[in-house]
Structure 1
Amino acid sequence: MEIEVKLRLPHVDAYRQVTNFLAPFHVGTHRQENHFFDGGAGELSARRAVLRLRFSDNDSRCVVTLKAKAVLVDGVSRVEEDEEELDPSIGRDCATEPAKLSTVESRVVGRAREEFGTLEFVSLGGFGNVRQVYEWKGLKLEVDETDFGFGILYEIECESANPEVAKKSSRSF
């Protein structure tokens, strides 16, 4: 199970302050495109799950992810996450025609079909984001600028085995 600490930044000025502070620790930038899917009869969402296709850096990479049983308490997100690489051209076909997910040879998509009884997939939409990655005080921090089309969200994400320590460290700046 993946444990993430997510801290929402209130506005673009806070985002700029954080990225300026972390600039010496910058290790990479990723442009991501995220597409979300449910079963045709809502099989995944009925059990607090979702299937995601994430394309990174002009389709150089595609990852299919099954997220399930997410719980968010005091900014700490606990979610079961199962991921695997998928050929970006196959992922693109599925993003364009979600029904094709039903025929993809993938362990993760297979889990969605078998464990959740998903026979067909439907798109829930998606969004793009720019992710700045930093290595700071032994933590991997991902600072996101996410464009939903109707507004932009700024947040810091940190995966950690000890979420309370990560949360405290992240809030220190």
Structure 2
Amino acid sequence: MEVEVKLRLPDSNTYKTLTSLLAPFHVRTHNQHNNFFDGAAGELSGRRAVLRIRFYNDQPARKCIICLKAKAVLINGVSRVEEDEEEIDFLIGEECLANPNRLGGLVESCRIMKRVKDEFFGGNDNNGELGLVCLGGFKNLRNVYEWKGLVIEVDETSFEFGSLYEIECESSEPEKAKELIEEFLKENGVGYSDSVASKFAIFRSGKLP
């Protein structure tokens, strides 16, 4: 179970203010490209699940992570979601993006894809073709900071219909982490609000919340 604090920033100016304030604590930046997949008949989404391939286009250390997420709940700026991740070869990930049928061929070598076959397709891979389709995706620039014992991620997410700015912080004590972050934001006059939808939900809606 992944548990995260999620706070939305109102605009790009607020985003720039916050990243300037956190600059002394910056540890890395990720250039991410997220792509999502479902069965042609909605086999995953019908059970509140989604398959994601995330490319980290960080030079020189590119990598690709396949992830199965399910049963997401976002209440009062705290997200809880069942999440399972696995790294796959970057070039294979690109092949899957170009041809989603390639994902079915990973069943024997990729734990995540075996789960997808067994849990959402009844163990039947139709001779290596699960019938998965790519739903599209979005790009995300993620700045990571280590601050007061927390790992804070500040995202600039680029959808076709606009940009979203968000703070994320994974924590086993989300209420305490949220209180600490909110105190910092208020002290520095940084506007924010609780996030009300996941990035994937916003992507699927086709509009900013």
- Residue identity opposite 1:167 in structure 2: K
Q: Contact 1:28 / 1:133 at 8 angstroms: preserved in 2?
A: yes
The number of equivalent residue pairs is: 173
- Does residue 121 of structure 2 align to residue 110 of structure 1? no
Residue 4 of structure 1 deviates from its aligned partner by 0.9
Task: Give CA-to-partner distance per residue, 1:21-68, whole Å, 9 cap, x none.
Answer: 100000000101000001121011011100000000257100000001
Task: Give CA-to-partner distance per residue, 1:48-99, whole Å, 9 cap, x none.
Answer: 1000000002571000000011011111110000001000000000011111
Identical positions, percent? 59
The 5 A counterparts of 1:1-173 are: 1-58=1-58, 60-104=62-106, 105-117=109-121, 119-172=130-183, 173=185
Task: Give CA-to-partner distance per residue, 1:90-120, whole Å, 9 cap, x none.
Answer: 0000011111111112101111111111732
State the SS of the aligned residue for 1:93: helix
- Length-normalised TM-score, structure 2: 0.80
- Residue identity opposite 1:7 in structure 2: L
d(CA) in 2 for partners of 1:40 and 1:106?
A: 21
- Length-normalised TM-score, structure 1: 0.96
d(CA) in 2 for partners of 1:101 and 1:149?
A: 25
**Structure 2: runs of 5+ lacking an equivalent:** 123-129, 186-209
Q: Contact 1:101 / 1:120 at 8 angstroms: preserved in 2?
A: no
**Structure 1: runs of 5+ lacking an equivalent:** none
Structure 1 segments (4+ residues) deviating >3 Å? none
Q: Contact 1:37 / 1:52 at 8 angstroms: preserved in 2?
A: yes
State the SS of the aligned residue for 1:37: strand
- Residue identity opposite 2:158 in structure 1: D
d(CA) in 1 for partners of 2:156 and 2:149?
A: 23
**Structure number with higher strand proportion:** 1
Larger Rg: 2
- Residue identity opposite 1:141 in structure 2: I
- Residue identity opposite 1:106 in structure 2: C
